[in-house]
Amino acid sequence: MSYAYLDTHVIVWLHDGLIERLSEEAKRQIESNDLLISPMALLELQYLSDRKRVGVEPLSIFTYLHATFDANLCSFPFPAIATEALGCRWTNDPFDRLIVAHAKANRDSVLITADTEIRRNYAAAKW
């Protein structure tokens, strides 16, 4: 079983039906892996919602992605994620840092992201 984590913008695009924004590789990864969402991505969605940058509540987005894409909220142990995040010194963004650390701590899992900085710094990032 292989996992692919969804970065926050990918979560929003999938929810909003903006499949055309995804690369062909991102679509392949979505189709061929069990999809996971880091709880940190859910928290980032709340942050964006609070600032009126996302118009749907995070739990509604998650419920839709779970029902439509069988995406699950990952329950990987937080101490392992936090320990991994200590080495992510290439960013000061706490959301990116923990989302990447989550995928990395869980057997260097794929992280589907369009974020070029993440892709430069995390070998298993795909776009």
pLDDT tops 90 at residue 121: yes
pLDDT tops 80 at residue 45: yes
| Amino acid in the structure at residue 11 | I
**Sequence spans of domains, the chain:** 3-126
Write out pLDDT tens, residues 21-44.
999 999 999 999 999 999 999 999
CATH class of the domain at 3-126: alpha beta
Q: What's the confidence (pLDDT) of residue 73? A: 97
d(Cα 6, Cα 50) in Å, to the nearest integer?
21
**19 neighbors 50 (Cβ within 8 angstroms):** no
| Amino acid in the structure at residue 99 | I
d(Cα 63, Cα 43) in Å, to the nearest integer?
15
Q: What's the confidence (pLDDT) of residue 74? A: 96
What is the rounded average pLDDT of the residues 51-78? 96
d(Cα 42, Cα 73) in Å, to the nearest integer?
9
pLDDT interval class at 11 (50, 70, 90): very high
- Kindly list the strands in the beta sheet with 110-112, ordered across the sheet, starting from the edge strand earlier in the chain: 72-73, 34-37, 3-6, 110-112, 125-126
